[in-house]
Every structure is written in C-alpha cells, then in structure tokens.
Chain A
Amino acid sequence: MMTERENPFDDIPGTTLFDAKRSRQGYHLNMFCMSLMKEANRAAFKAGERAYLDRWPMTPEQRDAILTRDWNRMLELGGNIYYTSKLGATDGLSFQALAAKMTGQTPEEYAAMMLSGGRSIDGNRSKSEWRDG
C-alpha cells in the first residue's frame, strides 16, 4: 500500500483526488447532494436548508461548508465535484460558474482565461511551483 507521503497525486496543486479515504469521509455529504436530483427535494432544501441537512449524519464542518457554500472546503471534506455540482445546479450555478468560485476569480475573469486557452500547465504541475502550496 502507498502511504499518503508517497502518494504522487498529493503533489498536484489545487487538486483533490476522490480516493477511498475521501469517499468514506464524504459519503453523506455527497449523498445529500445526490438527493438534489429530484425537483421535490430541491424545493424542500430551498424551503429550509438546515432542517433538510438534518436528514444526513454529516459533521458540523461539512454542514457549515454546505450552508456557507464553501465549495473548496466541501472537496477537502470528502465532497466530489460531480456531487457538489448538483448543489450548484440547485443554486442556479453552471459548472463554469462553480469553477470560477473555486479558483477565486470572478466569472468574467474565469471566462476570459478559458477563452485565451485556459490555465497553463506550466507552473501548475507541482505544489513546489505554487507559493502557498
């Protein structure tokens, strides 16, 4: 077995890999998001977010991340983008709008970056290339 220290995926900056550990940690968070594929559930969630979240035994940190829409924190706590994007859709956010939020750019800045060819791979391969890792 690879230890976490040796896992080369951990060196990729700004990226969380949805591995076994995160999947176990994020099971209820992701299954909450999954429930939002039904219109009736989206309506129930919008009518009372806290009460709706009580249906899933999440940690307080996971609940806070959802309630404050801290999209990167959700990923750190075991969320997967294909699940959290269902919460995004419930909020009326496209994948691109969500991506902009996770990068800290305005939607206009992010869209302009994509139009000019996207984020370059140069300087984005390793955490050692990022000032704040």
Chain B
Amino acid sequence: MARIVAGVASSHIPAIGAALDNGRANEPYWQPVFAGYEFSKKWIADLAPDVIIEVYNDHATAFSLDIIPTFAIGCAAEFPIADEGWGPRTVPPVIGHPELAWHIAQSTILDEFDMTIVNNMEVDHGLTVPLSLMFGQPERWPVPVIPLAVNVVQYPPPTGHRCYNLGKAIRKAVESYPEDLRVVVFGTGGMSHQLQGPRAGLINAQFDNEFLDELIADPAHLARRPHIEYVREAGSEAIELVMWLIMRGALDDRVESVHRFYHVPASNTAVGHLILANAGNRH
C-alpha cells in the first residue's frame, strides 16, 4: 500500500528561482532564504520519497482565461518548463507519475471531488521553485512529481474547507494504491504578499505566524477562515495559502513540526516553510 509519510509547505516566489538560475544564490540578500532550506534539502535526501504530490497554482501559464479549472491533476509522464515571459527556467523537465496520478484522479472523482484531468501541461515557477528549494540544482529531478493545480487567480478560489477535505480524499486515494510507495505532499504559495495596486508590498508577519501555528495544531478550524480574511489581512496574493490546507488535510490530525522557517522579504513576499511528520489520528 502507498502511504503519505510527510508534508512540506513552501512559498514559491519566482525571484528565488531567478536568483538560483542566474547564480545569485550566495548574495547577502538571498543567503538567508536558502539557509532556511539547508536542513530541508538534507531531510528530503535522507527520506528519498518515491513520489511527490505538489499542490501549486498556475500563474496564467498552462491555463489562461480560456479554461479555468478549480482543481486539475497532471497525469502526464513529463511536464515541460514554461516560458513565463523571460524564457523558460533552466531546470530539468518535471517527470510525472501517470499511474498514481490517474489513480488519484479516479479515486477523488468518485469521492465527489470533480478533478480536471490534464495530459499536456507546461509548469511554471509555482511548481518548480519549491523543487529547487528542496532539491537544489540537479541535472534531473530525483523523484517523480504529480502536479495538482488549484485556481487561486480567478475569484472565487476554492474555500479552505474544500481544500482541506480534498487533502483527506487524496490521502484515501494514495492509501488505496497497491504499490508500496512513500509519498510526500507539498503545499505551496504564500505567505503574506500583495503584488498588485497601491497596497502592493503588504506583509503581515503576525498573520503568517498564527497561520503556521494553526496549520500545525488546529487545521480544521483554520480551514473555516473566509477568503476575505486572507486578502484583507495578508494581501491579495496570500489567498494562495488555501493550498497549504490540501497538504495538511492529507496528513494525520496530529502532526509534529520537523522544521519551521519564516523570512521577510523575498522580493515582494514573506517566505514560509514547514516540514510536518504524521503523529497520529484522533479517535
């Protein structure tokens, strides 16, 4: 049986990818960001998971205003790196896991989550930056990745509660897969940031740290937080944080925080990062 062994939360700020790709990772500005992931790189190399399910959002890359799926699962064997306007990032293509991805699609749809199945999709910084933070700059990514794209660009995005329950359905799907695979779920995006308009640059460290506390200790309550609170308190693009609840829903009710990191700023954004290990369910 496959099982979910851990969860990772991470921001996916494009400037982090650009800093790495352009050899600027050792600059004083970027050094604290990458230092916050040193433990994580060693942790995931030691764990050597068989598959990663990565929850992220597409930033008007594979999906434009022509088609806007709320939840889309990548079932392809390979996902090319998108040109987001600067030329594609110089990272290897992302290798998928079609068999498990299709299994999750079927299981979650029958569990009443109406997933969009995607067989041809380029992936942007939302997916690749967390991989770079966790795995550095390998010639090939060391593990297959199942992309799970969530719409957080067009209102309304899914509710936190819906995301949390999708995480539970993904866990059920993984645990009904016959092969012994060790799966890690990534939830990406956030934390507080606003990229648009005269209020751009908003950061709310108190909001972010309370979010981290509650994601660990009381995710069912956190899942009930309405969209307006994310947008008003932590910036229009902080709504991405609902995606972290998918990762959290796929874990046990109780988790242990293995690693926690928070840093301001990376470009316009507060960097948040967690590694969570399962610690048992409530009965």
Interchain CA distance A119-B264 in the complex, whole Å = 11
Given A15-B231, A27-B65, A117-B264, A85-B201 contact (CB < 8 Å): no
Say yes or no: B61 contacts A37, CB within 8 Å. yes
Pick from B15, B153, B201, B233: contact of A119, CB under 8 Å: B201
Known: A72-B197, A75-B197. A117 touches B202 (CB 8 A): no
Contact of B202 with A17 in the complex, beta carbons under 8 Å: no
Whether A99 and B236, one on each chain, are in contact in the complex, defined by CB atoms closer than 8 angstroms, is no
Q: A118-B203, A119-B203 are in contact. Are A12 and B195 (CB under 8 A)?
A: no
Contacts of B236 in A (CB 8 A): 12, 15-17
- Which stretch (A51-59, A60-68, A90-98) binds chain B? A90-98
CA distance A51 to B85 in the complex (A): 20
- Cβ–Cβ contact B60 & A16, under 8 A: no
A110 to B66, CA, bound (A): 34
For A23, the closest partner residue in chain B by CB is B154
The reply to whether B82 and A118 form a contact with Cβ atoms under 8 Å apart is no
Residues of B within 8 A of A44 (CB): none
Residue numbers in B under 8 Å from A124 (CB-CB): 199, 202
Cβ-defined partner of B65 (8 Å) among A31, A36, A102:
A31
Dominant SS among interface residues on chain A: helix
Residues of B within 8 A of A17 (CB): 155, 231, 236
B-side contacts of A86, CB under 8 Å: 60, 84-85
Chain B residues contacting A108 (CB-CB under 8 Å) are none
- B270 & A118 in contact (Cβ 8 Å cutoff): yes
Residues of A within 8 A of B257 (CB): none
Would A20 and B155 count as touching, CB distance under 8 A? Answer: yes
Main secondary structure of the interface of B (DSSP, over half): loop
Interface residues in A33-55 (C-beta closer than 8 Å to B): 33-34, 36-39, 42
Interfacial residues of chain B within 47-65, with CB under 8 A of chain A in the complex: 59-61, 64-65
Let me know if B265 is at the binding interface, CB within 8 A.
yes
Q: How large is the interface on A (under 10, 10 to 19, 20 to 34, 35 or more residues)?
A: 35 or more
Chain B residues within an 8 Å CB radius of A34: 60, 64-65
B267 touches A94 (CB 8 A): yes
Chain A residue nearest in CB terms to B207: A121
Partner of A102, one of B156, B196, B234: B196
**Distance to closest chain A CB from B22 (angstroms):** 12
Given contacts A15-B199, A114-B201, contact A90 B85 (CB under 8 A): yes
Residues in A lying within 8 Å of B, measured CB to CB: 8-9, 12-20, 23, 27, 30-31, 33-34, 36-39, 42, 72, 75, 80-83, 85-86, 88-90, 94-96, 98-99, 102-104, 110, 113-115, 117-121, 124-125
Besides the contacts A38-B83, A103-B200, what 8 more A-B pairs have beta carbons closer than 8 Å?
A18-B153, A34-B65, A80-B153, A89-B85, A103-B198, A114-B201, A117-B203, A117-B265
